[in-house]
Structure 1
Amino acid sequence: MNLKSIVVLLTAVAAPAVAGPLGYAICQTGCNSLAVACYGAAGFTMGVALPAVPAVLVSCNVGLGTCMAACAVVALSPTL
């Protein structure tokens, strides 16, 4: 059996690839963009320290956390 046949055989039986770090990074970038938009819509700037956190920013942060949790699933999901 020659090398080309072996490579074809191994490719055929290989497990599907996962999205991995690139898919995870793309997902996180989308989540952060949405969080910045949420802060902007509420009239605030993301990353600026405030003495008290308004409820609308708490909801933005909860949304960001939910989105980031979904990114963990993207990192482990198969890409066929």
Structure 2
Amino acid sequence: MKCTAVLAALAAIAITPVNGGPIAYGICQTGCNAVVVACYAAAGFQFGTVIAAAAAPATILACNAALGTCSATCATVALFAPIP
């Protein structure tokens, strides 16, 4: 997703070595959540209002899968990436 590309760009311009951490992780998660809210809106739903996963349309299931992938990427990349 785009979150990974942003983190890669930031890592590439870092001049001095620093540690990533909770702030980078929070920024990445905010990006993931903004994307899933837009995904839900494009499907005609409001994020947080679809109750039954079995009754959700395929577009909502795809949005949820994308959110899970993005969140997992944040957990493995943003916590360890060098962020200035």
Instruction: Tell me the TM-score normalised to structure 2 length.
Output: 0.70
The whole-number CA distance in structure 1 between the counterparts of 2:50 and 2:43 is 15
Does residue 60 in structure 1 map to residue 63 in structure 2? yes
Structure 1 segments, 4+ long, off by >2 Å, are none
- Computing the radius of gyration from Cα coordinates, the structure with the larger value is 1
Q: Which has the higher contact order (CA 8 A, sep 6+)?
A: 2
Instruction: Identify the residue that residue 36 of structure 1 maps to in structure 2.
Output: 37
Return 5+ residue gaps in structure 2 as ranges.
1-16
Aligned CA-pair RMSD: 1.7
Where 1:79 maps in the other structure, the secondary structure is coil
* Residue-by-residue CA offset, 1:35-76 (whole Å, 9 max, x unaligned): 000000000000003441111001001111111111111111
1:77 aligns with 2:81: yes
Is there any run of 5+ residues in structure 1 with no aligned partner, and where? Answer: 1-15
Equivalent-residue separation in structure 1 for 2:62 and 2:44 (angstroms): 14
Task: Count the aligned residue pairs.
Answer: 66
Tell me the TM-score normalized by structure 1.
Answer: 0.73
Q: Which has the higher helix share?
A: 1
Kindly, what percent of the aligned residue pairs are identical? 52
